[in-house]
Amino acid sequence: MATTERTPAPRVLLGVTGGIAAYKAPELVRRLVERGAEVQVVMSRGAHELVGPLTFQAVSGRRVRDDLWDAAAEAAMGHIELARWADVVVVAPATAHFLGTLAAGLAGDLLSTVCLATTAPVVLAPAMNQAMWANAAVQANRALLEARGVRFVGPASGDQACGETGPGRMAEPNEIAAALLEHTGGLRTQPLKGLKVVITAGPTREPIDPVRYLTNRSSGKMGFAVAAAAREAGADVVLVTGPVSLPTPAAVRRVNVETAEEMCRKVHDEIGGAHIFIGCAAVSDYRPRDVAEQKIKRSAAEMELQLVRSPDTLASVAALPCAPFTVGFAAETHDVEKHAREKLERKRIDMIAANQVGPDCGFDRETNALTVFWPGGELALGEGGKGLLARRLVEVVAERYRAARSVVQSSSRPV
């Protein structure tokens, strides 16, 4: 009788630090166990003030580890054993103090030591007051950790325990669980392996004179997250980006541009042999007709600025004789679905990811909400951190690309 080899259960090491959101951590353990994961909890000293270790032991079925100086465990180099055991390490909640500790490379307790010793992916779910999250030092630590390959899930925006509202809430346990299991299974299949993917990101700048330009509020974070997710999915990724201050994702080839015209030209330079094109960039629709050679002086009470249309990179790629599978983005302030579907049809692209933008969502935020449309279908990807949404988007793009390719192959077969 033939037997089916059982896939080993993913091993998740969950670090819990001393943030008020620690009360959500047992629910995260439960969600992971429901999905078939083995979970080992490591608590910081501060976490003990908020949640008892017996709670975690009850839901995980494993004794909680919390002491770097546990003589019995460390006789066998316990922190190294834990670091090697884990398929993925997640810290939820991750406090501002822990982000700083990890960014500085300090190893003062068991959890920080394991994070430094492991070769497994490390995922952080930050939780702190919105002002702390916005602090320049915390954001610098976040950027440094991301550049080193640490992944972030959240934080989400909303009401906080302190009574304030804003970004800083720990992502919900089900969202964190989904992100973790992608590390241990979902994208290991590498659905884009062997494919070339060209992605655009960020804003463009259209000069008015040598010191002024027209631009928009795009931070480039979503496009960079998509590039990282596509690379993780096995693709050979070229990232054509406008001016942003973001580190290049690992193993991604980056091409820097400034204007819409330059972006269009560079994309067409790179598009040869591409299987998929994803236009995440917020490209300026218009540019000044004339650019002053010298700085315009403040003299007249009024000044007229005449604008002309910029090149449409997305439409021009979709119109190529052997066009790649083309995905656009639609950032809208209102009637999101209506405008997204109109853009899908007008530009004759294969898929479009739409989101609403405004003062509290979209541009320059850590979170986003996307709905994907294609001819005859749609899928809501939900709200969450841009890294998580990027991985979900890449999965959908891979599925639709394979579906489109199978249709083409079927139609080309002789009858």
Which positions are catalytic?
162
Cα–Cα separations (whole angstroms), residue 267 to 201, 278, 319, 354: 11, 11, 14, 22
| Contact (Cβ atoms closer than 8 angstroms) between residue 60 and residue 39 | yes
| Contact (Cβ atoms closer than 8 angstroms) between residue 140 and residue 371 | no
- Which one-letter DSSP state was computed for residue 290? S
Number of residues assigned to the chain: 415
Q: How many CB atoms sit inside 10 A of residue 23's CB?
A: 14
List, as one string, the DSSP characters of 199-230: EEESB--EESSSS-EE-----SHHHHHHHHHH
| Contact (Cβ atoms closer than 8 angstroms) between residue 291 and residue 270 | no
Dist. CA 66–CA 130, nearest whole Å: 28
Q: How many CB atoms sit inside 10 A of residue 234's CB?
A: 18
Dist. CA 176–CA 21, nearest whole Å: 13
CB within 8 A of 45, min separation 6: which ones? 18, 66, 109
CA proximity to 190, closest of 252, 233, 230, 227: 233
Dist. CA 216–CA 244, nearest whole Å: 12
Q: How many CB atoms sit inside 10 A of residue 414's CB?
A: 3
Q: How many CB atoms sit inside 10 A of residue 28's CB?
A: 28
Q: Which two tokens stand for residue 318?
A: 């979709």
Q: How many CA atoms lie within 13 A of 234 on its CB side?
A: 13
| Residues facing 23 on adjacent strands | none
Strand ranges, E, within 111-195: 122-126, 151-152, 156-159, 165-169
Q: How many CB atoms sit inside 10 A of residue 53's CB?
A: 16
| Contact (Cβ atoms closer than 8 angstroms) between residue 187 and residue 391 | yes
Dist. CA 239–CA 277, nearest whole Å: 10
